[in-house]
Structure formats: C-alpha cells, structure tokens
C-alpha cells in the first residue's frame, strides 16, 4: 500500500536542510555533510547503492575529496573510436536535457560534437541533483543546477586526457592543447581521445580546474539539433512503456471508480478464461484503495481480462467530490477569515476612487502525457530492478525497498526515456511505482516469478488522479485614476499539493502551501493582503507544469491589464511604469517581445487585437505579445511573439522548443473541454475525446527571441507556460470589453 515517506525516513542531511529552511537559515548543504549524514537515515542507501558500498567500507568520499557527482568516470565514457557518451543525471521527458547537458560537458571537454552521445543515469549516488542532494528532475532545475557541475566534469576529463598524452610523449602537459576530440602537440603530433581514454581514466582526478571564458565557447550557445530527435521522429526511440525482458508479463489494473474505494465482491471467472491470462490478483492500491490486477502475456489479453471482471465496490464511507458542490464550498470558504501570506493595510480600499472586484475559477487538470504511466519490476534472488521514466529515482527506489521488504542497496532503478511527465512522474507517494511492486510481489507469491510490466491505459491515466488542483481566486482592488493601487485584498482557495508530503515541513508555513501562492504580487509594488484556504478533499493532487504559476500568473496579469484599460493606459507602458527602474530582466523580456512583434507600430487586420503578459517562474522571465480574434464566438490565437530572459542560452533551439511546447500546454488550458470534473466522486473524463488538447488547427504562428546574457543559465521547462493564457485573455478582453475570469475560456 502506498503512503508518503515520513520525515524521519529521510536522510538526515535532507532533514537538516528542511529544518534550516523552516528556521529561515540558508539551505545550501555541503555535499561532504550530505554524504556522511545521508546513510544514517536509510533512505540514501536505497537511492544510492554505490554510496552504500562505499560507506560499508567506511569511506563516504573518494580519494582527493571529490564527491560522486564530481567524478568524470560516472559521466563520461570514451570509446576507442572516439565516441563520447555522456550520462545525464535527469529524466529526459521532452525538455531537451539529453542534449543540453552533453553540450555543457562537451564544451569543456573540447569534444567533437559529431561523436557525442548520451544516456540516462540510474539511482546511483553520482546522479543526484548537486544542489539538492537528491535525485530530482523538476522545477526547471536541470541545466540551472548542473551547469557548473557538467562544465567541471568536462574540464576534469580533458585535463586527464592531456596528462595521459603528456605522459606518452614525455612532455609537459601545459605545452599541449585540444581541439574537437584530439590532443595536439608540437611538430604536428596528435592523439585522438579514444586512443588516450583508458590511460586517462586511470589517472588521479584533478580537484580544481580552470573553465573556459564564455567568449571561447564553440558548442554552448549554438543552435543544436537534439541527440534524440532522429530516433523519436523515426519511431525508433524506446520509452519506459517499451521495456521487454525475457519471460516478461503485462499487468493492467481494475481501479475503483471513487478514490480510495475497496472491493466488496469479485467475480473473475470470465477473466481467467481469457486466452493468455496468467493470473487475476487482488492488490492494494494508492490511498488505501484496492484493485484487481490481471496479468497476461500481453497488453491486449490483460485488458480483455480486466473488461470481463465483475466487481462491486464499497464507497459508503468515502467523500464523493462533486465539482458543482465543490465550487460552492470554495466560494463559502473565500468569505471566511484565514491565514495571511501577505499583510497590508486595507483601510484605503473603502474610499478608493476606483474599485474592481473579480472572481476566478480554475478546474482540475490532468497531466495527460503522451506516454501513459508504466513500470516494469523484476524480483530475483533478494534483489529488485525497476525500469520506468522516473523524475525521482532515489525516492522511487526507497519506496521499492520498503514495499518489497528489501534493503535499500538491493534495489536498482533504471531510468527510461519518458514520453512526457509534467510533474506526474514525481509524486511523494511514488504511487505508480509502488503499485507495480505490489503487483510483482503478488505475482511472485502466485508462482509467476518473472518480470511484470504494469501498464496504464489512457483512460487509467486520465482518471487516475494527481491532478493540478482546482482553485478559486477572489480579489477586491482599490486604485486611483493614475492606476496606482491603493489596496488589494486577495483570497485563494485550493488544495495543498505539499501537505502530507516530505516537503510539508519547509514548504508549508502558517498553514499556507508556498507552491499555491508563487507568482502572486511580484514583480509589482502592490499593497496586497493575501488570504489562503487549503480544504482537504478526496481527490489526489500534484504539481503540474509551472505549478502555482498556472493560476497566479493568469490572475495577476489579467487584473493588471484590467486596471490599465480602466485608466486608459497602454498595458505595456503601465507595466513599465509600475516597475520603475527595478526588475531589469522583466523589462528586457517584455521590450524584446514588443519590439519583435511590432506591437504599437504595425496595423493589425480588422477584428484582431493585441494581448500582453509577462511572468517570472523558476528564475526565468517570459513575456508574450499575442494577436487574437474571435470567430463564431470562439477565441482564436493567431500569432505569439516571445521575449525570454533565461540568462545564458545553452541551446537556443531547445529554448525555442520549450517556449513553444509550454505555450501550447498553456493554450490547452483555454480551450473548451480543458477540465477534469467529478460527479458523485467519479471523474467524468476518460480520454482526449472529452479532455481537450490543442490540435494542429489551433496552433498560432510562433516566434521566440532570447535576451542575450552571459550569466549562468536558469530553467526553461516550465516558464513558457504561465503567461500564455493571460496574454490570450487580455487580447480577447480588448476585443469584447469583458475580462475572462474562468478557465477554460467562456465568452458567454
């Protein structure tokens, strides 16, 4: 049965991080302390099997004081033919890290880019996030947190290759140089990296290395095609769903219609009679629920077996969430006193010359990744291996050990290519991984001692929970004729994502989930009082691409626009006025989008209007200037111009793709049918026929422009999403004179 990991089960170092965050101290933790402390908590050994062996021998670090995350041998393999394979410490699920991270390492290695390849890591200690000390792909932190790490890895490997060449030629290494995978010496001598690799890797690893001046970059900053593009575009790329092991069986699960329900009766005779079905097993599921796993020699017979089941469920004592009633509950809660995230004097509100009241409603949203959830489990001789697209292989590995009754070091997590994720492949309960392990364990007890792949259908995935929470916002704003905000009273109602998780201790303060309020107020100098209510409901929720900014950006950017329109000010000029001489990155991103779009200069076709929005999330600022119209009472998005400030652009082509992809996901929130709703506790949507996603006919023309910068890069996986919907809504409001307050958009 799945459950959240308790605080006491975390590595002590992570506990200390959480404690320091709660007390307001800095959260940076020396890796030396992390490695020494983590083993005592048990969790780290499950996450980091190689570290477990080192600690068993009394050594937490390698010779020279370098950490596993700093060892080139864990990240760089050079074949005799000169091919360089770079191991990435993240899950590639479409965001481009399988190219960006190798680019960073290859730059300092001075590799021949044509010979660079990449592969996923595992739950080994080397592949933790160097900033957080745990395995994690999320928060748009991959390039941001590993930029210096991968540069240093490449520089260390290059120094070792130079040392190996110097030893072979009996010269000083300082007299040698490298170029595109080759060491060059005096008199035209040269040696390929493949000729030197074996000797180089046997040499001591230098602790300190000198990194390139950015002006000398020849790989970083150049638009570069993705290393996985050919395989994906030709259909040859394998994902977690494609894992095939000798003797492997496939399981599908009959899950309850209401979250948490248990079985009262099971008639499985017809299911067992289906050709290819090997077992029909009762198994524990997430959140205390039960289900029936049908195990067969392929997906189709397993599904046929599931369809033949006759099941009855006990839902008597469960909360049955109903979306209409939930909205009424949220409205009632919004009128109650609650904890404050921001405090400000609301006295000026009563006598403000102008006043604005608004209520916003945001529905539950499914992650709807193209690859449904899946996990393959093999249990043999007191060990377990799993194959899955995991955003947190360390946490998932710890959950595997707990469920199977193994020692943490007896578990290996093989990270697979992910066909999308958007946060769903990283849950505090490790729900779909735990479920797969329960099924494999039950199969073994039934005599099926073979690998078992648990596969979710599209319908399972859509109805399986862990949605972006439903939210209600309510605002009362007082301002004057110049647009100066005198008082802004704001309320947010929505479930907490982090309550009950390992992150609650340092991310839920005064009863307020930090992820629910991110993006509120900033970067505008507003006197805001922000009240937050977190009701508890029987619907599992989780972060969704850009997390709180999915709703806070819409509220802030549409209300700012509304004040500008009410005071007859240009929305771009109004934002610039509010910022004054502060927030230079916001100003630069917005100005770039304005300049490149022709905003305010070119004449739009009849029936079109401009829309503008800008938002910072995950340390990156994205501004959109859009053109939209209304056709047959439906809003149409024609053109999007993006101004992006993500500091140094490691791969401009990936940045363009991420901005486009995130914007399309933002567009999906606007379309009719883009909502998860519940009736009597049952999710009403089941597939893309009733949960809308953009089609090719919905796609606007798109142009992405990046603000030049040499500062260390920030994230790009999520920041492109939040400002799209408000920019679109602002254009629609300019056309209709009526602001949009609900997602998806409703014009009447």
| Residue 558 bridge partners (DSSP) | none
Q: Is residue 325 one of the residues assigned to a domain?
A: no
Label residue 352 exposed, middle or buried (CB < 10 Å: 0-12, 13-18, 19+).
middle
Together in a domain, 208 and 264: no
Instruction: List the alpha helices (DSSP H) in 405-489.
Output: 431-445, 458-463
Question: Is 564 within 8 Å of 511 (Cβ atoms)?
Answer: no
- The pLDDT tens digits for 126-164 are 999 999 999 999 999 999 999 999 999 999 999 999 999
Domain extent, residue 723, equals 335-364+467-736
Question: Is 614 within 8 Å of 723 (Cβ atoms)?
Answer: yes
pTM of the model: 0.91
Together in a domain, 360 and 385: no
**Dihedral angle of Cα 394, 400, 406, 408, to the nearest 10 degrees:** 0
Pairing relationship of beta strands 84-88 and 116-120 according to DSSP bridges: parallel
Tokens 């039950």, located at residue: 442
Q: Is residue 370 one of the residues assigned to a domain?
A: no
Label residue 576 exposed, middle or buried (CB < 10 Å: 0-12, 13-18, 19+).
middle
Q: Is residue 443 one of the residues assigned to a domain?
A: yes
Q: How many residues does the chain have?
A: 748
Together in a domain, 102 and 124: yes
Boundary residue ending a domain (455, 478, 496): 455
Boundary residue ending a domain (426, 455, 484): 455
Question: Is 363 within 8 Å of 741 (Cβ atoms)?
Answer: no
Q: Is residue 329 one of the residues assigned to a domain?
A: no
Q: Would you state the structure tokens that stand for residue 164, as one six-digit string?
A: 């190996």
Together in a domain, 160 and 212: yes
Q: Is residue 530 one of the residues assigned to a domain?
A: yes
CATH number of residue 274's parent domain: 3.90.1170.50
- The pLDDT tens digits for 592-628 are 999 999 999 999 999 999 999 999 999 999 999 999 9
Boundary residue ending a domain (172, 191, 225): 225
Q: Is residue 2 one of the residues assigned to a domain?
A: no
Q: Per-residue pLDDT for 28 more than 70?
A: no
Task: Give me the sign of the Cα torsion angle 252, 253, 257, 259.
Answer: negative
Confidence of residue 500 (pLDDT cuts 50, 70, 90): confident
Together in a domain, 540 and 409: no
- The pLDDT tens digits for 508-560 are 999 999 999 999 999 999 999 999 999 999 999 999 999 999 999 999 999 99
Together in a domain, 636 and 680: yes
What pLDDT shows up at residue 503? Answer: 85
Label residue 188 exposed, middle or buried (CB < 10 Å: 0-12, 13-18, 19+).
exposed
Provide the number of structural domains found in the chain: 3
CATH number of residue 135's parent domain: 3.30.365.10
Nearest CA-CA partner of 699 in 667, 657, 731, 726: 667
Distance CA 376, CA 242 (A): 10
Contacts of 83 (CB under 8 A, 6+ apart): 115, 116, 117, 194
Q: What angle in degrees, to the nearest 10, is found between the helix axes of 431-445 and 393-404? A: 30
Together in a domain, 339 and 398: no
What pLDDT shows up at residue 64? Answer: 59
Edge-to-edge strands, sheet with 177-179: 177-179, 182-184, 190-192
Together in a domain, 535 and 401: no
Distance CA 544, CA 356 (A): 30
Pairing relationship of beta strands 374-380 and 354-362 according to DSSP bridges: unpaired
Together in a domain, 594 and 693: yes
Pairing relationship of beta strands 452-455 and 374-380 according to DSSP bridges: antiparallel
Q: Is residue 496 one of the residues assigned to a domain?
A: yes
Together in a domain, 302 and 165: no
Residue spans of beta strands (DSSP E) within 573-725:
608-617, 620-631, 634-645, 678-679, 682-683, 701-706
Confidence of residue 51 (pLDDT cuts 50, 70, 90): very low
Q: Is residue 710 one of the residues assigned to a domain?
A: yes
The SS3 call for residue 237 is coil
Together in a domain, 562 and 607: yes
Together in a domain, 148 and 260: no
Nearest CA-CA partner of 546 in 616, 495, 444: 616
């Amino acid at each position: 049965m799945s459950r959240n990991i308790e605080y006491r089960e975390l590595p002590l170092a992570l506990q200390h991080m959480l404690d320091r965050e709660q007390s307001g101290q800095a959260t940076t933790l020396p890796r030396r302390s992390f490695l020494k402390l983590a083993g005592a908590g048990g969790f780290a050994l499950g996450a980091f099997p190689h570290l477990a062996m080192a600690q068993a021998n009394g050594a937490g670090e390698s010779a020279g004081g370098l950490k596993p995350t700093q060892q080139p041998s864990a990240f760089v393999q050079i074949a005799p033919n000169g091919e360089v394979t770079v191991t990435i410490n993240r899950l590639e699920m479409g965001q481009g890290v399988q190219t960006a991270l190798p680019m960073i390492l290859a730059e300092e290695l001075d590799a021949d880019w044509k010979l660079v390849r990449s592969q996923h890591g595992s739950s080994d200690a080397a592949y933790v996030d160097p900033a957080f000390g745990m395995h994690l792909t999320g928060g748009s932190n991959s390039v941001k947190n590993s930029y210096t790490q991968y540069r240093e890895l490449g520089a260390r490997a290059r120094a070792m290759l130079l040392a190996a060449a110097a030893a072979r030629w009996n010269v000083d290494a300082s007299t040698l140089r490298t170029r595109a995978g080759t060491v060059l010496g005096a008199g035209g001598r040269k040696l390929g990296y493949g000729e030197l690799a074996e000797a180089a890797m046997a040499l001591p690893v230098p602790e300190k290395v000198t990194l390139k001046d950015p002006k000398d970059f020849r790989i970083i900053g150049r638009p570069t095609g993705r290393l996985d593009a050919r395989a994906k575009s030709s259909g040859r790329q394998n994902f977690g769903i494609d894992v095939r092991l000798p003797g492997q069986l496939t399981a599908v699960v009959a899950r309850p219609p209401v979250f948490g329900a248990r079985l009262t009766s099971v008639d499985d005779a017809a299911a067992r009679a289906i050709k290819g079905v090997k077992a029909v097993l009762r198994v524990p599921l997430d959140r205390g629920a039960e289900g029936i796993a049908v195990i067969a020699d392929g997906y189709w017979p397993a599904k046929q077996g599931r369809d033949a089941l006759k099941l009855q469920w006990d839902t008597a004592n469960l909360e049955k969430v109903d979306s209409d009633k939930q909205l009424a509950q949220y409205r009632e809660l919004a009128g109650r006193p609650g904890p404050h995230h921001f405090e400000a004097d609301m006295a000026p509100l009563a006598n403000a010359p102008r006043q604005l009241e608004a209520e916003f409603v945001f529905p539950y949203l499914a992650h709807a990744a193209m690859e449904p959830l899946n996990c393959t489990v093999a249990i043999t001789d007191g060990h377990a291996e799993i194959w899955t697209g995991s955003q947190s292989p360390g946490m998932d590995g710890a959950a595997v050990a707990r469920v199977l009754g193994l020692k943490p070091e007896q578990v290996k997590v093989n990270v697979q290519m992910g066909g999308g994720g958007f946060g769903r492949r990283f849950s505090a309960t490790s729900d779909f991984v735990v479920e797969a392990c329960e099924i494999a364990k039950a199969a073994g007890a039934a005599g099926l001692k073979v690998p078992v792949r648990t596969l979710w259908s599209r319908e399972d995935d859509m109805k399986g929970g862990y949605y972006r929470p439903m939210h209600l916002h309510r605002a009362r704003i007082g301002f004057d004729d110049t647009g100066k905000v005198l008082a802004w009273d704001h309320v947010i109602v929505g479930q907490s994502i982090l309550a009950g998780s390992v992150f609650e201790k340092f991310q839920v303060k005064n009863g307020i989930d930090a992820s629910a309020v991110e993006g509120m107020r900033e970067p505008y100098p507003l006197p805001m009082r922000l009240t937050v209510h977190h009701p508890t409901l029987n619907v599992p929720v989780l972060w969704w691409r850009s997390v709180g900014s999915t709703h806070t950006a819409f509220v802030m950017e549409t209300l700012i626009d509304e004040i500008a329109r009410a005071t007859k000010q240009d929305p771009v000029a109004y934002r610039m006025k509010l910022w004054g001489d502060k927030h230079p990155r916001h100003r630069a991103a917005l100005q770039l989008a304005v300049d490149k779009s022709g905003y305010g200069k070119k004449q739009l076709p009849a029936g079109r209007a401009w829309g503008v929005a800008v938002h910072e999330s995950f340390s990156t600022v994205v501004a959109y200037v859009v053109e939209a119209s209304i056709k047959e009472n439906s809003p149409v998005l024609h053109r999007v111009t993006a101004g992006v400030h993500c500091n140094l652009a490691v791969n401009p082509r990936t940045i363009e793709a991420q901005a486009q992809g995130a914007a399309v996901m933002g567009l999906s929130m606007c379309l009719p049918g883009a909502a998860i709703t519940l009736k009597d506790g049952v999710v009403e949507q089941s597939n893309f026929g009733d949960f809308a996603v953009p089609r090719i006919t919905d796609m606007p023309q798109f142009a992405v422009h990046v603000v030049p910068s040499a500062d260390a890069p920030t994230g790009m996986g999520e920041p492109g999403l939040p400002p799209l919907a408000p920019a679109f809504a602002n254009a629609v409001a300019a056309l209709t004179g009526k602001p949009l307050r609900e997602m998806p958009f409703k014009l009447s």
